[in-house]
Structure 1
Amino acid sequence: MGMQPVLNVEDIKAVETRLSDAGVSISELMHRAGGAAAQEVLRLGDVSRAVVLAGFGNNGGDGWVAAEELKAAGVDVRVVTPCEPDQLHSDLARMVAKAAVEAGVVYVVGPARDELDVLLGGCDAVLDAMLGTGFHDAPVAPLSIWIDALNSSGARVVSVDVPSGLSAQTGHAPGAVVVADVTITMLALKPGLLSDDGRDVCGSIVVAPLAEQTAKLVYEADPVAWRCEATDYLDVLVPPTSVVDKYSRGSVLVVGGSTRFPGAAIMAAKSAARAGAGYVTLAVPEPIANLCRTHLLEIPVVGLPADADGTFSNEARAQVAQLAERRSAVLVGPGMCVTGGTVGVVSTLLESEAPLVIDADGLNSLARLTSNRLDEFPELLRRKAPLVLTPHRRELGRLVGLTDATPNSLTSALEAARRIVWADGGSELVVVAKGTATACVGVEIAMLPKPGPACLATAGSGDVLAGITAGLLARGVETESLPTLTAFACEVHGYAASIAQERFGTRGVMAADIIDCVGLAVDAVEDRAAFSGADDMAPSDEDDARN
């Protein structure tokens, strides 16, 4: 199983239209969607009584079809509807609801809260078919009350297409939202299911293609991003060998730090070493060099000229350029602060021939250098060697002039990152747009690595990711594989955090704890990719609807 396409909601509608043109009508799609939803309820196991919460539109229509299918499978099913079936907003939903009633499906119109509580408390599973992918506001009564009742019931929940109350596009839930155990989404993944509030409420996500033409049409719809699977990393794995020395494993230069933030540079250097680089050097302002040496027994520390405020001075540029020569990868930015001197250091490294990762204050220096419009200075980023920018959403907004409208969703982060990579137009540039769902955005593709746990939201975590990225980049990579390599770095980061969480608890993890687990995480993610690749070679009878 390779990457899974992610489509914007408007593109899903276009796929539906093209399926209709190909002979699969919207009515047929509703029947297949309802059937797929019913099967997902039955897969929960031990379902003898079920409740379907059906809304006014086509999502509710899917629910009515599912109810008829569940009844045919011997399940005692009740549909809860806000109005009589002949008053539903959608013509198609009215048609399938009428068919379900004629087939003997029992329904309840607008029950009182206590009546609904009894219904939900006495069933084995609930199908949430209240609000679909077109919804993006806060739910209103009665559906907002139903959502609260459902979440309070403790029932097992399967949501159709998207948990009701969640925007399938932005991942935001401004009001009441269903917390599902399983979300069965139709045709393809949507951005909101994978990011922000979607991560908390979707449960496990199952994709139902609904038609054999779907895969081709989804691909032609130009997916906004692709969700990574383990096998996608096979291209960037390094074959194991004992014929190796510290230089052949890659050499990394980390440039950063200040008297105010010495720890960020130290953590980034350690992370690069833990990610597998054989030789790491840390270059910092001279006033903190001895402090850094006491924390880094294995990593040489070079003190560079500094201004009175303990940051790099302009005189540091020549030494930085010299140190960057013949390095397998360079990382600049962690803990560096933004001054005339640090802006000069970043500018110097952009002119170097080494693969380069720019993070934290390196990015803020870029923003200052371009007056917050990096997308209008593509010549600054054009270079032969790989370039990776690793902004979180606020830094990303700063880079493209969105300081008053910081990207607040996966969708808006993808749009902002693409302004940078498309202005540059070269395959040597990737923007790693960090967030609840991180996107590794290149000129041809945006990849969504498996997200890590919430304990990554801690000071210094970004410095660790930057170090991992530089350490892996030092292995060497073809520019067309750069999005894959950065996605691999993100998965290593997330896996290391999961290991650390086992040791220190969900809220107790600090960035240094993640560093200690990086080496184990590299091995684990590589092993998973290798084993998944072997599994893909074997025949499988797995149901195509379960992706």
Structure 2
Amino acid sequence: MTGRPILTAAEMRAAEVAVFATGVTVEQAMERAGAAVAEVAWRYAGRAPALVVCGPGNNGGDGYVIARRLKDRGVPVRVAASGEPRTDAARANRGRWDGPVETLADAKPARLLIDALFGSGLVRALDPAIAGPLERLAAAAQMRLAVDLPSGIGSDDGALLGPAIAYDVTVALAVLKPAHRLQPAAALMGRLIVADIGIAGTSRLSEIARPHLPAPGPDDHKYTRGHVVVVEGAMPGAAMLSAMAAQRGGAGYVTLTGHGTGGPAAIVRRGGDLADILVDRRVGAALIGPGLGREAAARALLDAALASKKPLILDADALMLLTERRPLQGMPILTPHEGEFAELFGELPGNRVERAGAAAANAQAVIVLKGPDTVVAAPDGRAAISVPAPGWLATAGTGDVLAGLIAANRARGLDAFEAACAGVWLHRRAAELAGPGLIADDLIGHLPQALAECL
């Protein structure tokens, strides 16, 4: 159910080497890239006067191709460069550009700015002699287009290595890179378009795609669709949100344990010993943590859940009671936000994907590191990043809804990694459908439509 691959700079270089070994030349790949970006620029800006700013490497070489292609279409286009080309392919395409090349520092702005200064692989801050003119030209442009990545972005971690310029369009060459989906860089991409230039690669990292969740068939019944147990604790409202999300997210049967009252009639309430409830072989997944509390009673409930050997989703307070309980058994799904993650795993090195992967291996669990760039990681090395979610999700209770969605998909039989990815996708899509000003309850009302898109 995972989507498009996301390649690091090293993986992208390996993919290029593999393609070049087949006889494709660097210049041919550069021509394809430049043609693809020029086509996007033409579609979005037409004959608007354009300025292409070129760096010294192959990204700059792409820029010279873009300028030539746009000029052939009748676009008034100028080129400015930060320096002389340093690669053979870039020098060759500089030679094919039959117009003048201005210096970046002295370049006058244009309605359309095409940034071909630096692409993937940048690891150091932009020189002020480049960052300053780039900011000036971007501020004066009516439209800004980035080639592969905005210049001044760390391609593997999404860090800002230069000015935070917001682009209207970014054309990713060949495949997505981590910075296309990791914050803070992801917020600067604008409309993101992936251009096929004949280079493909493989990676354990991918984009979370719309899952395929088949509708119930004629032989299905409430238990085959998935029986979810949601454990209620000190604050029953949170568990109720999770239970309602699990039900609307496709579960056939939802049991809410505890002593609360109210809620939809279709949710079955049960008191009694949690261990006795979880011994039922029909229970497909159990969710514990939302509103659980951290007192002795909460610890006892968590102990019972962990001892049950059922597929578990551990969220919120349950995570805070787990600090001495690693590794875990049975591939549970843990759903921490950044603060909870730090409490559980400390200050791990690396970007969000690397930190989530290290935590997954440490805990022997699937980790859902929540945020505007949610990352899902499994102990076997698989990882996926969500498409940016609406900022309106930053409100109380939305995490409880996400946990319930993940539980529903785990109960229906998906493996832990795929269940987590499916839950994240449905959560984001429901937020898009709910629109600005949403509260957690609104998400539940939009889950049927989000689910329908996955059939």
- Whether the TM-score (by the shorter chain) exceeds 0.5 is yes
Please name the residue that 1:93 is paired with: 90
Aligned residue pair count: 452
The structure-2 alpha-carbon separation of the partners of 1:341 and 1:174, relative to structure 1 and needing over 3 Å to count, comes to farther
AA paired with 2:95? K
CA distance in 2, matches of 1:2, 1:105: 45
| Cα drift, residue 248 of structure 1 | 5.0
Equivalent-residue separation in structure 1 for 2:197 and 2:222 (angstroms): 52
Report deviation, 1:296: 5.4
Secondary structure in structure 2 of the residue aligned to 1:149: helix
Preserved contact between residue 53 and residue 104 of structure 2 (Cα < 8 Å): no
Shift in Å at residue 341 of structure 1? 4.5
Shift of 1:517: 2.2
| Cα pair 2:105 2:133 within 8 Å, conserved | no
Q: Does 1:410 align with 2:386?
A: no
Contact 1:447 1:484 in 2 (8 A): no
- Return closer, same or farther for 1:245/1:209 CA change in 2, 3 Å cut-off: closer
Query: Which residue matches 1:272?
Result: 246
Identity over aligned pairs, percent: 31
SS of residue matched to 1:394: helix
Aligned residue identity for 1:460: G
1:438 equivalent to 2:374? Answer yes
Query: Paired residue for 2:426?
Result: 492
Pairing 1:364–2:320 present: yes
1:30-429 paired onto structure 2 within 5 Å: 30-44=30-44, 46-83=46-83, 85=84, 88-90=85-87, 92-100=89-97, 104-112=98-106, 116=108, 119-120=109-110, 123=111, 125-173=112-160, 175-211=162-198, 214-215=199-200, 218-219=201-202, 223-230=203-210, 233-234=211-212, 236-241=213-218, 246-247=222-223, 249-258=225-234, 261-284=235-258, 289=259, 292-295=260-263, 298-302=266-270, 319-326=273-280, 327-339=283-295, 341-367=297-323, 369-370=324-325, 374=326, 377=327, 380-381=328-329, 383=330, 387-400=332-345, 402=346, 404-405=347-348, 409-420=351-362, 424=364
Displacement of 1:57 = 3.0
CA distance 1:249–1:94, shift in 2 (3 Å): closer
SS at match of 2:368: strand
Change (3 A) 1:491 1:451: farther
SS of equivalent to 2:310:
coil
* CA distance in structure 2 between the partners assigned to 1:353 and 1:142 by the alignment: 60
Cα distance in 2 between the residues matched to 1:2 and 1:471? 18
Q: TM-score, normalised by structure 1?
A: 0.74
Q: Aligned equivalents of 1:296 and 1:174: distance in 2?
A: 51
User: Measured at CA, do residues 154 and 246 of structure 1 come closer, stay the same or move farther in structure 2, by a change above 3 Å?
Assistant: same
Residues 449 and 488 of structure 1 are in contact (CA less than 8 Å); yes or no, is this contact kept in structure 2?
no
- SS of corresponding position for 1:127: strand
Which residue of structure 2 lines up, in the alignment, with residue 459 of structure 1?
396
3-state SS of 1:366 partner: coil
Shift of 1:450: 3.8
Shift of 1:129: 0.7
Q: CA deviation at 1:340?
A: 5.0
Report SS of the residue matched to 1:517.
helix
- Partner Cα separation in structure 2 for residue 487 and residue 262 of structure 1: 26
Between the aligned partners of 2:344 and 2:319, the Cα distance in structure 1 is: 7
Cα 1:151–1:48 change in 2 (3 A) is: closer
Residues 424-454 of structure 1: per-residue CA shift (max 9 Å, x gap): 4xxxx53323232223333263334444312
RMSD: 2.9
> Once the 2 structures are TM-superposed, how far is the Cα of residue 2 of structure 1 from its aligned partner?
7.9
For the residues of structure 1 that align with 2:160 and 2:48, how far apart are their CA atoms? 32
- 1:16 is matched with 16
SS in 2 for 1:526: coil
Match of 1:519 among 444, 448, 453: 448
**TM norm structure 2:** 0.88
* Closer, same or farther: CA 224–444 of 1 in aligned 2, 3 Å: closer
Q: CA deviation at 1:245?
A: 5.5
Change in 2 beyond 3 A, CA 1:397/1:24: farther
**How far apart are the structure 1 equivalents of 2:308 and 2:391?**
36
Conservation of the 8 A alpha-carbon contact between 2:368 and 2:377: yes
Tell me what 1:468 maps to: 405
Gaps of 5+ in 1: 305-318, 528-547
In the alignment, structure 2 segments of 5+ residues that lack a partner are: none
- Per-residue deviation, 1:323: 1.3
**Cα distance in 2, alignment partners of residues 160 and 53 from structure 1:** 10
Q: Distance in 1 between matches of 2:240 and 2:115?
A: 49
More helix by proportion, 1 or 2?
A: 1
CA displacement at 1:63 relative to structure 2: 0.9
Name the CA distance, whole Å, in 2 between partners of 1:470 and 1:303.
Answer: 20
Q: Secondary structure at the match of 2:167?
A: coil
